[in-house]
Amino acid sequence: MYALVFLVFQTEVSELLEQKAQLGGDDGKQQFVLKTPKGTRDFNPKQMAVREKVFNTIVGCFKRHGAETIDTPVFELKETLTGKYGEDSKLIYDLADQGGELLSLRYDLTVPFARYLAMNKITNIKRYHIAKVYRRDNPAMTRGRYREFYQCDFDIAGQYDAMIPDAECLRIVHEILSELDLGDFLIKVNDRRILDGMFAVCGVPDDKFRIICSTVDKLDKMCWEDVKMEMVKEKGLSEEAANQIGQYVSMQGGMDLAERLLQDPKMSQSKQACAGLSDMKQLFSYLKLFQVTDKVVFDLSLARGLDYYTGVIYEAVLTQAGATPAPDGEESPSVGSVAGGGRYDGLVGMFDPKGRTVPCVGVSIGIERIFSIMEKKAEAEKVRTTEIQVMVVSAQKNLLEERLKLVTELWNAGIKAEAMYKKDPKLLSQLQHCEESGIPLVAILGEQELKDGVVKLRTTATREEVDVSRVDLVEEIKKMTLVV
Amino acid sequence: MYALVFLVFQTEVSELLEQKAQLGGDDGKQQFVLKTPKGTRDFNPKQMAVREKVFNTIVGCFKRHGAETIDTPVFELKETLTGKYGEDSKLIYDLADQGGELLSLRYDLTVPFARYLAMNKITNIKRYHIAKVYRRDNPAMTRGRYREFYQCDFDIAGQYDAMIPDAECLRIVHEILSELDLGDFLIKVNDRRILDGMFAVCGVPDDKFRIICSTVDKLDKMCWEDVKMEMVKEKGLSEEAANQIGQYVSMQGGMDLAERLLQDPKMSQSKQACAGLSDMKQLFSYLKLFQVTDKVVFDLSLARGLDYYTGVIYEAVLTQAGATPAPDGEESPSVGSVAGGGRYDGLVGMFDPKGRTVPCVGVSIGIERIFSIMEKKAEAEKVRTTEIQVMVVSAQKNLLEERLKLVTELWNAGIKAEAMYKKDPKLLSQLQHCEESGIPLVAILGEQELKDGVVKLRTTATREEVDVSRVDLVEEIKKMTLVV
């Protein structure tokens, strides 16, 4: 009772303090805090041009693999998200209770996808979904970690022969990262069943699997000694069990490692581990056919935090020097990680009233990190933010009407064209605008041109000018902008 | 004190009731309500294909007019939205106070745009923004009114010669509605200054301008008699003033009407109205050059509710029979309205610490209504939801590896291809899949083809088959999918 009242007062006080901070001087005029919410950002036109290019590459790949696309609302019923994210549930954004349903912003695209499949009784689909998701995490925006960020997900749902869809997901990661040309990368693969089997044979008690798994997941940013200490000191694991885990999680390889572990006296005692290892062998045989084994490594230290994975898991990391952040002391989860995913055969069943399952495997491209890298690359370059092909300008005064008539002719012909919104702009400032914004052609109108029924067409790059008959103008522009 | 405690208990009780409703039978298993939040929907692949087509048309038009694009977060600081929407502010979705800033989901794209301009001190930009906005309104989903919906906004910010950007916005509406081929339409134009001047000369007290304006805004769904009654009975306007308003709001025309009203003994007494009418004349002269006067009408009954408009306002409506909803008694705001906008010269100044203004004019395309119409059209048609060009199939067993090798070759060449995720699928079921989903080509592999170094290429539509040498396959597919 007292606790409740206290909570209310706490909220009131923090609101008052916030309101006070937002009220500026004594002039009574409210001072707005001109900012976007913590952990979010605007995209300016140049960033949008980069973003469009990245999306085109990714969507092009998804379409090459025959994916359809769907969309879901930005918020879901709160209960839809409940119990799906383990510890991370505290990072979910809730909407205020304004009467009606209790809602939360989506935390990822996977749970809404599973809800969509169950709700529409879909048992087979290959779909991609590109949309923003929301996490009340501690933002680290300089390295591309935001509270509002894009996910680009590709998932295959359906009962198929083992490991073929899983291999295609890895092929997709390989295609996208190669095409985006982000530098060298590596795709680490493991299997939830191999992890669980390993924990079992190493003597981890059943009820500690998940927390020990979370600790293993930290190996990408902590050394083994620290991880071991956490296992023993904080999680209460025996030193012996920790040491045995330590031997396994240092192993990396390919199909050969899977074969070796199938013969391992300890590991082979676990049925689960054996199932995972056999599938891993199968996976690598398909990866070879898909020509991607050069970048894929079976790595027993890969754990991935999410609860819902049931089989294969994977994560792609950039391995070049520039990809690792500066050692500024700030926490950096999964350094250089740009894609991740895995198999989650149980999630759809959590939504189905009769518990019917739909096996699923998918991958999520960590696009914000890729934006950061591409934006840095683009800083030096001149990126066009419009696609205007022709600017209609005039050399003399009182030709606004003629300019607007001509620009209308061009729009009618589907040409991307513009004219300045001024009655009598200076010729020089119009030409300068073309050079600065990279508009390839200029259509110049003057008294003489109007009399002669021509337009002077200027190529911005070369400053060459040529008179073109008004009737041939559209064709000429189309020809020239193909070449330019 | 008691009130606070009571509030807490109220919330607890409603939560408990809700939880109880969500718990199903006595088996202890939680029953999920499998639905999207009220007023929202998923888009399935077919709807997405329609949506992509509509967006391509709209974005194509925006780009033809030289617009850049930006993006802003889905939520803003609550205070950013405060005081911008008048009565409609009650429809804003707030996020729960989970500590930190108070946030709200964006209500439109205009206010975030103004915030963006002020924050980045931008004084000139032509931008489009396509994104979802949120309103806790009473949804009417059958006619395309949702709580989460897309807006497609095009705005021109900057100090320019009067009415040129305003005219371009109308040209854009004309282009988009023509190209989408939604049937006949009409763009109504008016001016906030003409409305205010009219209210002044009709004897509406200053402090009643806004509420009388809101009432006039209902003329698209109520007859004049009912609107008049509301003015007199509910808003306390004199019968005489209402009658005078009634005379004006029945007027429709073009440049001629603007000229006539400039001579009107009463209207011409208002400086504001005269400024608006002169600009209206100017606007129509540009609309003529832009070749869109056939669909634009100056209509004194057009009011538009939003507070921030300062000059020209407009709204496009579909005028064909099918565009008006069935008279099922449900409230229907702006029947057939598919686009709207206007000039808002004061909004950016509300965000600037020094009150510096940036004149703006823009238009918002009401895309959900357009989706509804296009989806209805698409129901009869066969819409492809993937872009797969070739399906790789086999006629015999044990050819999975060969299929995967070939599909990899095709992916490497940038061809959109897929193979079934089965070891030994039946030939017939593979061919049926191609026919059902409209995949134009089938690449058939068998023992004989492998021996001969060929692939049997089948055209789905004609069922014609031809042997193509493996080395020529990619070129041949490219040639054939251009023709198909």
Give pLDDT tens digits for B16-25. 444 444 444 4
Residue A445 phi/psi, 5-degree rounding, is -115, 135
Best mutation target among A32, A133, A402 (most B Cβ atoms within 10 Å) is: A32
Indicate the average pLDDT of chain B: 89
Q: Which residues of B touch A96 (CB under 8 A)?
A: 93-97
Residue B410: how many other CB atoms lie within 10 Å: 21
Any chain B CB within 8 A of the CB of A67? yes
Question: To which H or E segment does residue A295 belong?
Answer: none
According to the model, what pLDDT value does residue B129 have? 98
**Region of residue B209 (phi > 0: left; psi between -120 and 50: alpha; otherwise: beta):** alpha
Asked if B414's CB is within 8 angstroms of A102's CB, the reply is no
Asked if A417's CB is within 8 angstroms of B77's CB, the reply is no
Asked if B65's CB is within 8 angstroms of A15's CB, the reply is no
DSSP secondary structure string, B56-99? HHHHHHHHHTT-EE-B--SEEEHHHHTTSSGGGGGGPPBBP--S
Higher pLDDT, B213 or B164: B164
Q: Which residues of A touch B76 (CB under 8 A)?
A: 36-37
Question: To which H or E segment does residue A188 belong?
Answer: strand A185-191
Burial-class residue B290 by CB neighbours within 10 Å (0-12, 13-18, 19+).
Answer: buried
Q: Which of A124, A163, A131, A127 is nearest to A148 (CA)?
A: A131
Any chain B CB within 8 A of the CB of A158? yes
| A336's tokens | 């250089």
Handedness of CA A423, A428, A429, A434 (dihedral sign): positive
Render pLDDT for B416-453 as a digit per residue (tens, 0 to 9). Answer: 999 999 999 999 999 999 999 999 999 999 999 999 99
Rounded to whole angstroms, the Cα distance separating A154 from A175 reads 13
pLDDT band (50, 70, 90) for residue B268: very high
Rounded to whole angstroms, the Cα distance separating A157 from A110 reads 11
Q: Which residue among A75, A119, A422 sits closest to B160, beta carbon to beta carbon?
A: A422
| A112's tokens | 């809404």
Q: How does pLDDT run along chain A (484 residues), one tens digit per residue?
A: 344 433 434 444 444 444 444 444 444 445 668 999 999 999 999 999 999 999 999 999 999 999 999 999 999 999 999 888 877 889 999 999 999 999 999 999 999 999 999 999 999 999 999 999 999 988 887 777 899 999 999 999 999 999 999 999 999 999 999 999 999 999 999 999 999 999 999 999 999 998 898 899 888 888 999 999 999 999 999 999 999 999 999 999 999 999 999 999 999 999 999 999 999 999 999 999 999 999 999 999 999 866 789 999 999 999 875 544 444 444 344 447 899 999 999 999 999 988 899 999 999 998 988 998 888 888 888 889 999 999 999 989 999 999 999 999 999 999 999 999 999 999 999 999 999 999 999 999 999 999 999 999 999 999 999 999 999 999 999 999 885 4
Handedness of CA A340, A343, A346, A351 (dihedral sign): positive
Which of helix, strand or coil describes residue A421? coil
Higher pLDDT, A363 or B30: A363
Chain B: nearest CA to A77, how far in angstroms?
6
Any chain A CB within 8 A of the CB of B45? yes
Chain A: nearest CA to B423, how far in angstroms?
7
- CA nearest B3 in A: which residue? A5
According to the model, what pLDDT value does residue A25 have? 40
Any chain B CB within 8 A of the CB of A290? yes
SS3 content of chain B, % helix, strand, coil (to 5): 45, 20, 35
Handedness of CA B370, B376, B380, B384 (dihedral sign): positive
- CA nearest A113 in B: which residue? B42
Q: Which residues in B265-381 belong to E strands, given as ranges?
A: 296-299, 312-318, 337-343, 360-365
According to the model, what pLDDT value does residue B47 have? 94
Q: Which residue among B18, B148, B351 sits closest to A32, beta carbon to beta carbon?
A: B351
Best mutation target among B19, B36, B137 (most A Cβ atoms within 10 Å) is: B36
Asked if A404's CB is within 8 angstroms of B290's CB, the reply is yes
Best mutation target among A8, A30, A68 (most B Cβ atoms within 10 Å) is: A68
How many percent of chain B have pLDDT more than 70? 89
Q: Quick check: B461 pLDDT over 90?
A: yes
Chain B: nearest CA to A256, how far in angstroms?
20
Best mutation target among B20, B56, B95 (most A Cβ atoms within 10 Å) is: B95
Chain B: nearest CA to A266, how far in angstroms?
32
- CA nearest B383 in A: which residue? A68
Q: Which residues of A touch B52 (CB under 8 A)?
A: 69
pLDDT band (50, 70, 90) for residue B274: very high
Asked if A98's CB is within 8 angstroms of B96's CB, the reply is no
According to the model, what pLDDT value does residue A326 have? 44
According to the model, what pLDDT value does residue B377 have? 85
According to the model, what pLDDT value does residue A483 have? 57
Q: What is the dihedral of CA A394, A399, A405, A406, to 10 degrees?
A: -20
According to the model, what pLDDT value does residue A321 have? 53
> For B138-160, what is the HEC assignment?
CCEHHHCECCEEEEEEEEEECCC
Q: Which residue among A45, A165, A353 sits closest to B68, beta carbon to beta carbon?
A: A45
Q: In what order do the strands lie in the sheet with A454-459?
A: A417-419, A390-394, A441-445, A454-459, A465-469
Any chain A CB within 8 A of the CB of B408? yes
Render pLDDT for B363-407 as a digit per residue (tens, 0 to 9). Answer: 999 898 899 888 888 888 888 999 999 999 998 999 999 999 999
Asked if B96's CB is within 8 angstroms of A93's CB, the reply is yes
| B129's tokens | 């923004």
Q: Which residue among A4, A350, A423 sits closest to B5, beta carbon to beta carbon?
A: A4
Which of helix, strand or coil describes residue A24? coil
According to the model, what pLDDT value does residue A11 have? 42
pLDDT band (50, 70, 90) for residue B334: very low
Asked if B97's CB is within 8 angstroms of A15's CB, the reply is yes
- Going by the DSSP 8-state scheme, the letter that residue B31 receives in this structure is P
Asked if A43's CB is within 8 angstroms of B387's CB, the reply is no
User: Domains of chain B, with CATH numbers?
Assistant: 45-325+333-380 (3.30.930.10), 390-483 (3.40.50.800)
Which of helix, strand or coil describes residue B129? strand
ipTM of this predicted structure: 0.87
Any chain A CB within 8 A of the CB of B138? no
According to the model, what pLDDT value does residue B31 have? 61
Contact A342, A312 (CB under 8 A): yes
Chain B residues 311-370 with a CB less than 8 Å from chain A:
350-351, 353
Chain B: nearest CA to A421, how far in angstroms?
6
Q: Which residues of B touch A43 (CB under 8 A)?
A: 70-72
Chain A: nearest CA to B76, how far in angstroms?
6
**Which stretches of B326-391 are DSSP H helices?**
347-351, 367-380
Handedness of CA B216, B221, B223, B229 (dihedral sign): negative
Q: Which residues of B touch A34 (CB under 8 A)?
A: 115, 118-119, 351, 353
Q: Quick check: B263 pLDDT over 70?
A: yes
What is the count of residue pairs from A and B with beta carbons less than 8 Å apart? Answer: 261
Rounded to whole angstroms, the Cα distance separating B33 from B22 reads 7
Sequence-distant (6+) residues with CB within 8 A of A383 are A46, A49, A50
Q: Which residues of A touch B166 (CB under 8 A)?
A: none
Longest dimension (CA), chain A: 95
